[in-house]
Amino acid sequence: MINVPELFGSSVFNDDVMKERLPKPIYKALKKTIHDGETLDDSVANAVAHAMKEWAIEKGCTHFTHWFQPLTGITAEKHDSFITPDGDDKVLMTFSGKELIKGEPDASSFPNGGIRATFEARGYTAWDPTSPAFARDGTLYIPTAFASYTGEVLDKKTPLLRSMERISKEAVRVLHLFGKTDVNRVVTTVGPEQEYFLIDKDIYDARPDLIYTGRTLFGAKAPKGQELDDHYFGSIKTRVSEFMKELDLELWKYGIYAKTKHNEVAPSQHEIAPIFTTTNVAVDHNELMMEILKKTAEKFNLVCLLHEKPFAGVNGSGKHNNWSISTNTGENLLKPGKNPAENLQFLVFLAAIVKAVDEYQDLLRISVASAGNDHRLGANEAPPAILSVFLGDDLDAVVHSIEEGESYESEGMEDMDLGVEVLPSLRMDTTDRNRTSPFAFTGNRFEFRMLGSAANIASANIIINTIVAEELKEFADRLENVKDVKAAAKRLVARTFKQHDRIIFNGDNYSDEWVKEAERRGLLNLKSVPMALKHFTAEKNVKLFTENEVFTKEELEARYEVELENYAKLINIEALTMIDMAKKDIIPSVTEYVRELTDTALAKQALSADIPVSLETKLVTDLSRKLVCFSDKVTELENDLIKAGELSDDMQAYADFFCDVVFADMQALRAIGDDMETQTASEYWPYPSYGEMLFGV
């Protein structure tokens, strides 16, 4: 039997361990740092480092690493052992406060967007004591922030922590206006739902596109897809179920609250959701979870695909970022209560969020922008690239009544009668969930649904925290000096809802009508990464980030460059992979099949002119024509890659070209390739089919 409470967090240097192992004054000093952001002095750091090392050694660790989140999109680590020479041929195991607090990895190979002079390659990592260290595979992992020698941040954690500080400060100001003077800190919480695919490792190994790019670049549809909806919430196959069990155990060891798991819509697609926690920890946990998903899959001869669109024709994978704000006194600020119309404090926060989403649609879109996610947004399986807020009927009616200055009696929560005595009566939200909204209010939180499955959720949360902080600041500035705060707040809420009404949409976001309606409303529809990124350094955004001290102008410009470059590089790898597959496998294989058909036809004819060879003739003619066409498209793609290279001095033009020209070439090439696959005998086709990939586990 597995003792889950004992297993839970057993690989984490968590609060219990600290309490047990640190001298009391040291523990207290550390807690002060964690809660109030005070700097640690050397003696405290040394004592903590010592306790950590002793604990880590007991957990089988020989090394430690500063674990950070550079702009590559994945986590980075450099392992150092604990050994120090001790006399002749002997070693000691040591770990100092200095080593815990600060690392100096070579930063030259991490993206920096031209921020750092090339002669200065040094970078710094700095311990983030608010996210606990953990022991994994013989190494002590220390979550850290990453910055350049000159102090510009080069990672996702630092701006996230800055944004959390910002929203805390402004939310506290607002709460004090409502008399909540016992509140001195507000934290944002996040619960990310993670989707992924599992496919057989042997099948994966036979697909260069999956190996190099994480998605299939060729592949004709299988006879069956997701049309029967028989996978969603379906019973879980044995091998997958074994994997999920092991996955939970692993995640629990690291203190990750893995809670819900089920099959998703597409064949071979699944989801896992942890219980929410503080944003900063939720981000680290999600990064670790993605790593553990991949590693655990290996044990079952499976591969976990985290790409947003591994397969055409079936749903891709996303990540729902459930976000809320709560106080150090335990109040969730997004809880509307029984009668939201009377809950002015809630309405102020709601209005700030609605205004934030409207004014910074571009930044929210940018925060989820990736080459992989471009395949999903607007493709009838995920929200379109248009931001809007869903409030639900009840809250929407509240908002409308406020706009019109009328009173409204909320329906509140109702009991749901299932008509069967033995079933308990369920509490029902006053409105059903809207599954198509990109930014939906779901009772006590907002669910941001545009994120791609591979994303680091820090990006989205940096933006949500910062834009909401900005609006709360504006509100607090306005309300702090008025006599009648309540009356002024009421007016402010009404005015805000009126001004930002256009961003609220409760209908079907997947419909074509919405795209037209949104255009009429003047909402942005930024369909691709380069299109979205153009807005990154707009004046209002520079102002937002610099005034809130989340990014300097230089850091923002650097990020813009890095994102564009990452995008272009990714598409370039995809294009090169396609060319490789086309030339080395597909053209030779189809040619071989054509030859076989030709030989057969010739042999038949030699035997007797009466034997019909019309089938072979038709296929040979058809496929030969397509081969010419296919090879022409390969050449076109190659030529366009050369043209792209000539634009590389101007990152925006470079990325635009990959988006508009190279990507279009790839689609055209794929169409012919997939068409040929449907006409080629399986034994000649060089790769496992969609059917084998999607139904092969």
Beta carbon nearer to ligand ADP, 333 or 494: 333
Binding mask 189-228 for Mg ion (x = CB under 5 A): ----x-----------------------------------
Nearest Cα to Cα of residue 221 among 695, 576, 697: 695
Q: Output the DSSP codes for 484-513.
A: -HHHHHHHHHHHHHHHTGGGB--S-TTSHH
The yes or no reply on residue 193 touching ligand ADP (CB under 6 A) is: yes
Task: Find the part of the chain contacting ligand ADP (CB under 6 A) among 183-191, 305-313, 366-374, 517-525.
Answer: 183-191
CB of 335 to ligand ADP, least distance (A): 8
Tokens standing for 204? 């994966």
The yes or no reply on residue 275 touching ligand ADP (CB under 6 A) is: yes
Task: Find the part of the chain contacting ligand ADP (CB under 6 A) among 319-327, 376-384, 497-505, 665-673.
Answer: 319-327
The yes or no reply on residue 445 touching Mg ion (CB under 5 A) is: no
End-to-end CA distance of the chain: 28
CB of 111 to Mg ion, least distance (A): 31
C-alpha 127/C-alpha 528 separation (Å) is 36
- Residue 33 binding partner per list Mg ion, ligand ADP, none, with a CB distance cut-off of 5 to 8 Å that depends on partner kind: none
Q: Which of 445, 535, 559, 670 binds ligand ADP (CB under 6 A)?
A: 445
Q: Which of 33, 189, 226, 388 binds ligand ADP (CB under 6 A)?
A: 189
Nearest Cα to Cα of residue 557 among 115, 158, 110: 115
CB of 280 to ligand ADP, least distance (A): 13
Q: How many angstroms from the chain centroid is the CA of residue 668?
A: 29
Q: Which of 253, 320, 365, 473 binds Mg ion (CB under 5 A)?
A: 320
The yes or no reply on residue 273 touching ligand ADP (CB under 6 A) is: yes
- Residue 670 binding partner per list ligand ADP, Mg ion, none, with a CB distance cut-off of 5 to 8 Å that depends on partner kind: none
Buried/exposed code over 191-228 (b: 16+ C-beta within 10 A; e: otherwise):
bbbbbbbbbbeebbeebbbbebbbbbbbbbbbeebbee
Beta carbon nearer to ligand ADP, 333 or 644: 333
For the segment 157-196, give every residue that binds Mg ion (CB under 5 A). 193
C-alpha 308/C-alpha 372 separation (Å) is 5
CB of 349 to ligand ADP, least distance (A): 13
Tokens standing for 36? 């109030």
Buried/exposed code over 2-15 (b: 16+ C-beta within 10 A; e: otherwise):
eeeeeebbbbbbee
Q: Is residue 109 a contact partner of residue 145, using CB atoms and an 8 Å limit?
A: no
The yes or no reply on residue 473 touching Mg ion (CB under 5 A) is: no
CB of 4 to ligand ADP, least distance (A): 18
Nearest Cα to Cα of residue 256 among 226, 240, 277: 277
C-alpha 306/C-alpha 32 separation (Å) is 38
Beta carbon nearer to Mg ion, 193 or 248: 193
- Range 509-512, long-range pairs (CB < 8 A, 24+ positions): 509/383, 509/384, 509/386, 509/388, 509/434, 509/436, 509/437, 509/438, 510/380, 510/383, 510/384, 510/436
Whose tokens are 């929200």? That residue is: 383
Task: Find the part of the chain contacting ligand ADP (CB under 6 A) among 57-65, 146-154, 442-450, 679-687.
Answer: 442-450
Beta carbon nearer to Mg ion, 389 or 550: 389
Beta carbon nearer to ligand ADP, 286 or 410: 286
CB of 444 to ligand ADP, least distance (A): 5
Beta carbon nearer to ligand ADP, 446 or 505: 446
Buried/exposed code over 438-465 (b: 16+ C-beta within 10 A; e: otherwise):
bbbbbbebbbbbbbbbbbbbbbbbbbbb
Q: Which of 226, 324, 431, 453 binds ligand ADP (CB under 6 A)?
A: 324
Q: Output the DSSP codes for 157-211.
A: HHHHHHHHHHHHHHHHHHHHHTT-TT---EEEEEEEEEEEEEEEHHHHHT-HHHH
The yes or no reply on residue 191 touching ligand ADP (CB under 6 A) is: yes
Beta carbon nearer to ligand ADP, 324 or 689: 324
Beta carbon nearer to ligand ADP, 327 or 410: 327
Tokens standing for 456? 């680091």
Residue number closest to Mg ion, CB atom: 320
Tokens standing for 673? 């390739």
- Residue 444 binding partner per list Mg ion, ligand ADP, none, with a CB distance cut-off of 5 to 8 Å that depends on partner kind: ligand ADP
CB of 283 to ligand ADP, least distance (A): 13
The yes or no reply on residue 332 touching ligand ADP (CB under 6 A) is: yes
Binding interface with ligand ADP (CB under 6 A): 189-191, 193, 260, 273-276, 320, 322-324, 332, 444-445, 447
